[in-house]
Chains A and B, each alone.
Chain A
Amino acid sequence: MLKFILRRILLEALPTLLILVTVTFFLIRLAPGGPFSAEIDVPPEVKAAIEAKYRLDQSLPAQYFGYLADLTRGDFGPSFKYKDFTVNDLVNKAMPVSFRLGVTAFIIAVILGVGAGVTAALRQNTWIDYSVMGVAMIGVVLPNFVLAPVLALIFAIWLKLLPAGGWDGGRAIYMVLPVAVLCQHYISVIARITRGSMIEVLGSPFIRTARAKGLPMRYIVRRHALKPAMLPVISYLGPAFVGIITGSVVVETFFGIPGIGQLFVNGALNRDYPMVLGLTILIGTLMIVFNAIVDIVYGLIDPRIRIK
């Protein structure tokens, strides 16, 4: 196990991250328009002073290696846009917000998605199956930028039951609408994957054997079918978890939630190079970690897969 983790870090994670940092570092600088281009065109002397402050006057390789050196100390640099903060400050404050929102939405999505998928699979080709999958299909195609204002209109403006936005340190009432919008897509996808996988497993010989032995269906599902049926779901959940906790741009922007998603989109629009780089590294790292966790969980669930 220790060997597996070490190999993952040294041979896979670090080189992947280095490539990611390098490509992002140069790509973002290729985007037209600099971090300090503004409507009011500042005199060249002022521009030079600003660029000197943020080391943009150095050669590109010097900037690159300077950045890598800072990175080894865990320093993501100053934010070019939010001058009162470093990238570390901003990410440290935003990450727990996106994490809290994301984990809540994720748990709900897994419970409802798997539940709906299994139910549909067991009642395959009945009205229950069709209605569950119909709703799931709507969930897949309904974009969150449509759902968010519609829910806010109904629950905040008409019924006045919930706030239309804000976070207030993550108070439950402020989380209801964002969580609902954030998890609807995931519920639908998880339900569809679970159903497909479950139907396949239910048709396999070892389930037929179990049924022939006269075991009750509930027992078969829980004891024999669920584990193998979960394999494709789990490989989807790893990256989905990273996606959901690193923030949804639409949900955070619409509901005014101070998370990672807003930082990312504003970072790109403002050409806030250190911010974009920092978040890319963060998301890249999480992606690698959760893919590794998925591999480990695979081994635990499927006896045919073993970590060597």
Chain B
Amino acid sequence: MNTSRSLLVIACALALSANAWAAKVPPGAKLHAVQELVRGNGTEPATLDPNKMEGRPESNLAVELFEGLVSLDPDGKVIPGVAEKWESKEGGRIWVFSLRKTAKWSDGSPVTARDFEFSFKRMVDPKTASQYAWYLGKAANVSNAVAVMEGKKPPAELGIKALNDHTLQFTLEKPVAYVVATLAHGSLMPLPQKVVEKFGDKWTDAANLVSNGPYRLVERVVNERIVMKRNSHYWNNAATVIDKVTFLPIQHQSAEYQRYRANEIDLSADGGVPSEQLAQIRRDIPNELAYWPQLGTYYYIFNFRTKPFDDIRVRKALSLAINREIIAKNIVGTGETAAYSFTPATTDGYKPIEHAWEKLTQAQRDDEARKLLAEAGYGPGKPLKFELLYNTNELHKKIALAVASMWKKIGPVEIELVNQEWKTFLDTRNNGNFAVARAAWIADYNEPSTMLDMFHSKHGNNDGKYLSAKYDGIVDGAKTTLDDGQRLAAYQNAERQLAEDFPVAIVYHYSVRHLIKPWVKGYGRNPEGRIKTSDLYILAH
């Protein structure tokens, strides 16, 4: 079977096996009379316009109000959304999506392929000024997307075209096997062209917004609440159980926690488990604390432009000396796991390899680190001095203190902890004015490339300026490898390269953390942290 045929078969099998999800209430479960849910959402979203989203608070809302070509089931598997099925042609360079004819906007008009085409062209258009304008080009490899984003080609030349009302065609720069996984992103929703053009920036007002997802916007009070009710025109509305959902933008975890305890919130924001109250939560409401692995990694960047971090011996010594188990289990302590590879083990299509240094005990790693540091020329007369930069936050401080004390054990290391307020910190880090800096990376989609691309010499977030032609070659090759086995092997090679060069000290993999009332059911363990209200139901209580 040639590759394109096999891709086609896989795609069709996927489309057929995974029916669109919705709340699956087990038989015999007694539902609460009032199906209304209140959720925390972290902070006030920057916008309700999916094309202009910035992060989680926005994408959480986008997936309630809108539905993209594909969606994620409660466990994070890609399932059909507005697209019923899809197939690839020309060896994975062209992808054709067939849209369901029953999909409708909340005003009753049909959702067509042109609504997707309009949205995707708008997102890439520099005039829209979207922070995710790079996504279709760099993550999904859509043809001409980068040129349009850079203003070198008009949006009309983007490689996405509605062949008719119900068929949408993607043309990619290069064949990419995992393109469908990238399309579940919150920014890639269809948009109601007429409404957007009629109201301009005001199209997201509660009075104007028309959406195609399970819910429609009813009310938005900035810094207080966003209220949605079920969209009776949604094609799968019959399977939705919760009638009304309210999102509260509460920035401070302790404030959200108080309201959760007062039964004003049923489901906290992701991460809404204040570490100061963790002991109390475990004592009083252990059954309401839920966590599972997330596609995200916490790490420290070494700045290759600052001596001595251009020396592999120093980077390796510092990386080996971190006792990751202690940090993940005892300092963070909500399901986080010690990390030895950058790509989390739960990533789709990825199997971690065990690095040689990983097999050593911590004592052996410390010994090795001592040797490396001595070899690099650091000893009693010549201590290793540097600053460790992190953004102001209690947890980051605790971790930095612990890591600093671990580093001091391997030799004469003098560390100054420096914390900066978030925006200042970002500026300092992006400009490379640091020696060692805290960082975190959360996957944009469920595939190793979203993690490993980070260390590509051309990636904007490669703040330490790790420049390795070898590594670039491995990752570039991996992304366009169509065979799953070969692609996995290539990603593992990339991880091997990272374990050889130590551009960063990987610390732990994140977990998705929530407080959830016992009567809220239907959520799974989505490693991207997405919990859709349309999958949930409320038991009698």
Residues of A whose CB lies within 8 Å of any CB of B are 31-34, 36-43, 45-46, 48-50, 52-54, 78, 81-85, 90, 93-94, 149, 152-153, 156-157, 160, 163-167, 252-259, 262-263, 266, 269-271
A271 CB contact (under 8 Å) in B222, B252, B264, B423: B423
Q: List the 6 closest pairs (A to B, CB-CB), nearest first.
A: A33-B423, A41-B460, A49-B126, A164-B262, A258-B224, A33-B427
The listed residue with most B CB atoms (<10 A of its CB), out of A36, A43, A85, is: A43
Q: What residue in chain B is nearest A78 (Cβ atoms)? A: B201
Q: How far apart are the CA atoms of A52 and B129 in the complex, in Å?
A: 9
Q: How far apart are the CA atoms of A143 and B149 in the complex, in Å?
A: 50
* Chain B positions within 8 Å of A54 at CB level: 129
Cβ of B261 within 8 Å of any chain A Cβ, yes or no, is yes
Majority-rule SS of A interface residues: loop
The listed residue with most B CB atoms (<10 A of its CB), out of A52, A82, A164, is: A164
Contact A32-B428, Cβ < 8 Å, known A45-B126, A45-B151, A270-B423: yes
Cβ of B362 within 8 Å of any chain A Cβ, yes or no, is no
CB<8 Å pairs between A and B, sample of 29: A31-B423, A32-B424, A33-B424, A38-B426, A39-B55, A41-B461, A41-B463, A43-B150, A46-B131, A46-B134, A52-B129, A82-B44, A83-B46, A83-B47, A83-B52, A84-B204, A93-B221, A149-B258, A157-B262, A160-B262, A163-B264, A164-B261, A165-B259, A166-B264, A252-B223, A255-B255, A256-B249, A262-B223, A269-B422
Q: How far apart are the CA atoms of A54 and B151 in the complex, in Å?
A: 17
Q: What residue in chain B is nearest A262 (Cβ atoms)? A: B223
Are B259 and A258 interface neighbours, CB within 8 A? no
Cβ of B430 within 8 Å of any chain A Cβ, yes or no, is yes
The listed residue with most B CB atoms (<10 A of its CB), out of A45, A78, A149, is: A45
Q: How far apart are the CA atoms of A45 and B130 in the complex, in Å?
A: 11
Cβ of B495 within 8 Å of any chain A Cβ, yes or no, is no
- Report A81 CB to chain B, min CB distance, Å: 6
Are A266 and B460 interface neighbours, CB within 8 A? no
Q: How far apart are the CA atoms of A271 and B421 in the complex, in Å?
A: 12
Cβ of B521 within 8 Å of any chain A Cβ, yes or no, is no
Are B424 and A164 interface neighbours, CB within 8 A? no
B201 CB contact (under 8 Å) in A49, A52, A84, A253: A84
Are A49 and B424 interface neighbours, CB within 8 A? no
Are B250 and A256 interface neighbours, CB within 8 A? yes
Contact A45-B149, Cβ < 8 Å, known A163-B264, A167-B221, A254-B255: yes
Q: What residue in chain B is nearest A156 (Cβ atoms)? A: B262
* Chain B positions within 8 Å of A165 at CB level: 250, 255, 258-259, 262, 264
Q: What residue in chain B is nearest A155 (Cβ atoms)? A: B262
Are B126 and A164 interface neighbours, CB within 8 A? no
Q: How far apart are the CA atoms of A269 and B252 in the complex, in Å?
A: 14
- Report A80 CB to chain B, min CB distance, Å: 9
Q: How far apart are the CA atoms of A166 and B227 in the complex, in Å?
A: 13
Are B426 and A37 interface neighbours, CB within 8 A? yes
* Chain B positions within 8 Å of A93 at CB level: 221-222
Q: How far apart are the CA atoms of A167 and B224 in the complex, in Å?
A: 7
Q: How far apart are the CA atoms of A84 and B201 in the complex, in Å?
A: 6
Cβ of B283 within 8 Å of any chain A Cβ, yes or no, is no
Are A153 and B427 interface neighbours, CB within 8 A? no
Cβ of B329 within 8 Å of any chain A Cβ, yes or no, is no
Give B423-453 as 1s and 0s: 1 = Cβ < 8 Å from A's Cβ atoms.
1111110100000000010000000000000
- Report B143 CB to chain A, min CB distance, Å: 17
B427 CB contact (under 8 Å) in A34, A49, A255: A34
Contact A164-B131, Cβ < 8 Å, known A33-B423, A269-B423, A270-B423: no
* Chain B positions within 8 Å of A269 at CB level: 421-423
* Chain B positions within 8 Å of A36 at CB level: 131
Q: What residue in chain A is nearest B152 (Cβ atoms)? A: A45
Q: What residue in chain A is nearest B48 (Cβ atoms)? A: A84
- Report A167 CB to chain B, min CB distance, Å: 5
Are B204 and A164 interface neighbours, CB within 8 A? no
Q: What residue in chain A is nearest B124 (Cβ atoms)? A: A46
Are A49 and B127 interface neighbours, CB within 8 A? yes
B261 CB contact (under 8 Å) in A48, A84, A85, A157: A157
Q: Knowing that A45-B151, A166-B259, A269-B423 are A-B contacts, what are 18 other residue pairs whose CB atoms are under 8 Å apart, sorted by A's residue number?
A: A33-B424, A33-B426, A39-B440, A46-B126, A84-B48, A84-B202, A85-B222, A90-B222, A93-B222, A94-B222, A152-B258, A157-B262, A160-B262, A165-B264, A254-B255, A256-B259, A263-B223, A266-B223
